[in-house]
Amino acid sequence: MILTNNWRAPDAFVKAIEGDPYSKGDADFSATELLKPPQIVRLYNEHEDTVTTDVRDEWWKLLGKGVHAILEQRPKCEQCYGTGECWSGEATHELWWERPITTWDKFKAWTRGDRCVPCNSCDGTGLIDDGKVREQRFFAECGGVKISGAMDLLGDDGAVTDYKVTSVFTIQRGLKTDWEQQLNIYAWLLKQNDITVTSLTIVGLCRDWIKSRAEAKADYPQSPIVSIKVPLWRPERQDDFVAGRVRVHTMENTIPCTPEERWARGGYTVLGGGLKPKSFDTMSEAATYINTKQKPGRTFSISEGSAKFVRCEAWCPVSDHCPQWRGEANEQSNRR
C-alpha cells in the first residue's frame, strides 16, 4: 500500500501509520477479513502494491490502536510498583514506608549492602498475571482455509470483550450486525481451540461524546464508555456462518458487493399503505418499517431506487480497480 500525506500531517503520524505492527499470522483470512465484501478483499490482494491511501483516512485506525495499546496492558505488580525490581533487603521492611522508593532511600539501602534484584512476585516483569488473555491470536481451519482472530480480552471465565472506538451516532443505533458477527467468529475460533465462551460484550468508546448533551438528552449515551451485550449464537449457527463466509471468499468468480456492503443511502423506498413514500438504507430497515405500519387493508411495496454508495465514493481502498464501481461510473457519464 502506498501512503500519501497530501494534507501535511506531522511526520510522527506518518511514521506511526507506516509502522503498524498488525499481522494476521499465517492465516488465509482474519476474522475481520471474512466479514469484508469478497470483492474488496480480492481486489486489495491483487493490487496491494498500487493501492493508495492518505494519512487523513488512516488516523482513526491510529486512534483505535492507541486506545487498545493502553487497555491491553496487564496490571502492575504492587510489590515492585511495576518496576520489575526489588531491593534484596526489602522483604525485611514490613511497612510500606520503610521500603526504599526515592533515590536517596535506595542509596541508603545500597550502602547497607542491599542489591537490586528481580521481583519474585512478578518474575521481574513488573506485571502480574490476572488470568485474563489480552490480544492473543487464535487459529483454526474451516474447509482447509486457515482463519485467525485476536480478541481484545478473554476472561478466565470465558467472557469475551472487544473494544470499539466509535461515534455516539453508531452507539445510538444499537448493536451493529458486523460486531455481532465478528464476536461470534471469535467464539467459533475459541471453540475450535477447546475454550468455551460464556458471554460476548462490545465496549463502545465514543470519541465524540459531549457531557452537556448527555445531561440534556435522555436518549444520548450517559457515558462515553458503553457496554453492549452481544448474543452468543448456537455452535451450529456459528459453524454455518463461518463456512458460508469462507465459501463466498473462495469462489472462483468474485461476487459483486451488495448495496449494504457499499453503504447505500436511500436505496430502498417503501410505497403504498396510504402513507408518504419513505426511504431507507437497507432492505431490513424497510421491512421493519412495513411491519410497524401494517394494518388490515394496507398493502406495501419496496422499490429499489438510485442510492448513494458512500463506501464506493469515499472509503473503498480499491474503488479505482473495481469493475462494478467503474462500470456504474461510466454508465452515469454516458447518460450525461
Three state DSSP letters for 218-245: CCCCCCCEEEEEECCCCHHHHHHHHHHH
User: Which residues, listed in sequence order, are joined to residue 141 by a DSSP beta bridge?
Assistant: 146
Segments in 5-130 forming alpha helices (H)? 11-18, 31-35, 38-47, 55-71, 103-111
Do 286 and 302 touch, CB atoms closer than 8 A? yes
User: Quick one: pLDDT at residue 332?
Assistant: 57
d(CA 113, CA 100): 13
Do 106 and 201 touch, CB atoms closer than 8 A? no
Domains, the chain, in order of start with CATH, read: 2-72+132-250 (3.90.320.10), 75-129 (no CATH), 264-335 (no CATH)
User: Quick one: pLDDT at residue 91?
Assistant: 44
User: Quick one: pLDDT at residue 92?
Assistant: 47
How many helices (H) and strands (E) would you count in the chain?
12, 17
| Percent of all residues in the chain with a pLDDT value above 70, rounded to a whole number | 88
User: Quick one: pLDDT at residue 101?
Assistant: 62
User: Quick one: pLDDT at residue 98?
Assistant: 57
User: Quick one: pLDDT at residue 94?
Assistant: 45
d(CA 227, CA 164): 10
Do 200 and 229 touch, CB atoms closer than 8 A? yes
User: Quick one: pLDDT at residue 327?
Assistant: 84
Q: How far is CA 91 from the centre of its chain?
A: 44
pLDDT in tens, the chain (336 residues): 899 999 999 999 999 999 998 899 999 999 999 999 999 999 999 999 999 999 999 988 899 999 999 998 888 887 777 777 776 554 444 444 556 666 666 666 656 555 666 777 788 888 888 889 999 999 999 999 999 999 999 999 999 999 999 999 999 999 999 999 999 999 999 999 999 999 999 999 999 999 999 999 999 999 999 999 999 999 999 999 999 999 999 999 999 999 889 998 988 899 999 999 999 888 888 999 999 999 999 999 999 877 899 999 999 999 999 999 998 766 555 555
pLDDT digit string, tens, across residues 10-22: 999 999 999 998 8
User: Quick one: pLDDT at residue 88?
Assistant: 59
User: Quick one: pLDDT at residue 281?
Assistant: 86
Query: What pTM, to 2 d.p., does this model score?
Result: 0.83
**Grid cell of 67 as nine digits:** 486506545
d(CA 139, CA 103): 47
pLDDT digit string, tens, across residues 47-93: 999 999 999 999 888 999 999 999 988 888 877 777 777 765 544 44
